[in-house]
Amino acid sequence: MTLRLRIGAATHMGLVRDANEDAYHVDEPVGLVVVADGMGGHRGGEVASATALDALRMALADGKDLSAAIVDANRAVFEKASGDAALAGMGTTLTAGTLVEDTFVIGHVGDSRAYLARDGELVRVTADHSLVAELVRAGELTEEEAETDPRRSMITRALGVDPDVEVDVYPVELHPRDRLLVCSDGLTVMLGEDQIATLLAEEPDPQAAAARLVAAANDAGGADNVTVVVADVVDDADSDTGDDSTSPDSPGPGVEPVRRRWWSRRRDTA
């Protein structure tokens, strides 16, 4: 069994904010997915999320494991924030996953989230580093109360705030036909998990699913920047017998350049 990911991604600044401080990076051949949600005055949020992504990619390219790469990304954002008064106090969440054989290793800091959809069920993999999540874990708020609590965007752990950061790591053993979702809180604040699960189940194409989730968050009010990455787990051994919508001849609606690059690489190496 050789697993790989088919990835779709979409981001939008939403209907209220005037800039998009979220950022994402996906790499199908490597099996890499990253979502970062920056914060900070002026352009700080955008700089923080972009800086974290760049540093993470460089560290991974140098052969570091995901957790060490996130520590590097933290240091890069921290140093940039320390060296420029206009960027002081900026920070970013970062939730990243990388395919290591048949395991999706997730590294996580902040309140972006990773979910696993398997056999019709959507399971949240990551635990938010947020004030309301801590209050839920302490039994002081219910999940329902947390969803509408005015403090729900206050995060308790981020990249760039301190010289060191604690990274939560979740290894998820994958099965063919699993679907992974990595998203910023602009999705989960606007949509309930049942709505997200329904939409993911309805739309077989990962790019179309990502675009539809972003559109649904905006339809619900678009109060925040929203970023969605949907990654389908494909077993190369049975890809010929799979659903037509996953075949290279009919890649489905909304094909993004990233997937064309993947297919052309596949042809190059065939």
Q: 65-99: string of b/e by CB count within 10 Å (b at 16+)?
A: ebeebbbbbbbbbbebbeeeeebeebbbbbbbbbb
| Rounded least distance, CB 224 to Mg ion, Å | 4
| Rounded least distance, CB 221 to Mg ion, Å | 13
**Which residues make Cβ contacts (< 8 Å) with residue 207, sequence separation at least 6?**
8, 9, 10, 230, 252, 253, 254, 255, 256, 259
What is the rounded distance in angstroms from the CA atom of residue 262 to the CA atom of residue 28?
A: 7
* Token duo for residue 137: 């874990």
Query: What count of residues does the chain have?
Result: 270
Residue with Cβ nearer Mg ion (46 or 185): 185
- For Mg ion, the binding residue among 28, 185, 205, 232 (CB under 5 A) is 185
| Rounded least distance, CB 181 to Mg ion, Å | 16
Residue with Cβ nearer Mg ion (5 or 95): 95
28 counts as binding Mg ion under rule CB under 5 A: no
Q: Which residues pair with 181 in a beta bridge?
A: 115, 230
Of 173, 197, 46, the C-alpha closest to 115 is 197
224 counts as binding Mg ion under rule CB under 5 A: yes
Total site size for Mg ion, rule CB under 5 A: 5
Q: Which stretch binds Mg ion (CB under 5 A): 24-32, 52-60, 217-225, 259-267?
A: 217-225
**Which residues make Cβ contacts (< 8 Å) with residue 223, sequence separation at least 6?**
14, 15, 16, 186, 189, 190
| Rounded least distance, CB 198 to Mg ion, Å | 22
Q: Which stretch binds Mg ion (CB under 5 A): 47-55, 133-141, 179-187, 199-207?
A: 179-187
| Rounded least distance, CB 211 to Mg ion, Å | 18
Residue with Cβ nearer Mg ion (65 or 147): 147
- For Mg ion, the binding residue among 8, 9, 12, 37 (CB under 5 A) is 37
Q: Which stretch binds Mg ion (CB under 5 A): 77-85, 101-109, 193-201, 220-228?
A: 220-228
Q: Which stretch binds Mg ion (CB under 5 A): 5-13, 58-66, 134-142, 222-230?
A: 222-230
Residue position matching structure tokens 């939403």: 14
What is the rounded distance in angstroms from the CA atom of residue 128 to the CA atom of residue 265?
A: 36
Residue with Cβ nearer Mg ion (153 or 239): 153
203 counts as binding Mg ion under rule CB under 5 A: no
Specify the DSSP element, H or E, that contains 229. strand 226-235
- The answer to whether the CB of 159 falls within 8 A of the CB of 94 is yes
Residue with Cβ nearer Mg ion (207 or 227): 227
205 counts as binding Mg ion under rule CB under 5 A: no
Residue with Cβ nearer Mg ion (14 or 31): 14
Per DSSP bridges, beta strands 3-12 and 226-235 are antiparallel
Residue with Cβ nearer Mg ion (87 or 226): 226
Which residues in this chain contact Mg ion in the complex, by CB under 5 A?
37, 184-186, 224
